Amino acid sequence: MERLVGVVCLGYSGAVKTPRPGIASANRPRLGSFASLIDQVLDDDDALDGLAFAYAELGEPERRGLAHAVLQDAGNPTQALVAFLAVEENPRLRQRLAGLISKHGCIDQCAFLEGTEAQGAARLMQSLPGLEPESLRIAWKDSKIASIEIESRKSLRNDASLLAVSVAEAMQTLAPIVWRHIRSGGELPDGVERFAGFFSVG
């Protein structure tokens, strides 16, 4: 969170004008002029490209701040965050953006499941605007994960036995297994944070 530097005026008894907060300020009012600008940008592909270019030219703290401002003000932040992700080269910031998209973006999600908490397999599929669909495939035995991998559309296995279920139903089975795996120090594939939105289902 950015710290605003106060203005000190000596020898002046008049009113001190409060400096305008920057775009990335946490104290900035919601739905201001930046919100209107963002809503216009998201309807214009060229303007969205310009926003992504501007993002890429910023330093790391400013890129974080701009992503936060978009998240705070945009009616739907998905497109802007995906545009930032497309030009972001810093692995740490890419992971952060992917997590923000999963938690706050509008993502098409579906789930497929076979078996019980003791043994089975599942596939969590999602599609982000402008990106190729991908899935997280998890197989387990004796209530322990045997394999967990991220699949692109081209590498999807033909799991005819997996049945389409609601995301909430899939997570009732998967969540306890995955949390046990994490607590025991089990490995997770790179990029798994992109699927965090599945595990935030109430």
Domain ranges of the chain: 1-106, 108-200
Burial 26-45 (b: 16+ CB within 10 A, else e): eeeeeeeebbeebeebbeee
Asked if pLDDT for residue 20 goes beyond 90, the answer is no
The confidence band for 34, taking pLDDT boundaries of 50, 70 and 90, is low
Predicted pLDDT at 17: 37
119 close to 110: Cβ distance less than 8 angstroms? no
The confidence band for 60, taking pLDDT boundaries of 50, 70 and 90, is very high
SS3 49: helix
Measured between alpha carbons, how far is 87 from 115 in angstroms, rounded to an integer?
40
Instruction: Pick 193 or 2 by higher pLDDT.
Output: 193
Predicted pLDDT at 4: 32
Q: What are phi and psi of 140, to 5 degrees?
A: -140, 155
Measured between alpha carbons, how far is 109 from 149 in angstroms, rounded to an integer?
17
Least confident of 22-31, 100-109, 125-134, 137-146: 22-31
Least confident of 116-125, 154-163, 165-174: 154-163
For the stretch 71-120, pLDDT in tens is 888 777 888 888 888 788 888 888 788 778 777 777 788 999 999 889 99
Instruction: Pick 77 or 21 by higher pLDDT.
Output: 77
Predicted pLDDT at 129: 62
Measured between alpha carbons, how far is 15 from 145 in angstroms, rounded to an integer?
64
The confidence band for 42, taking pLDDT boundaries of 50, 70 and 90, is low
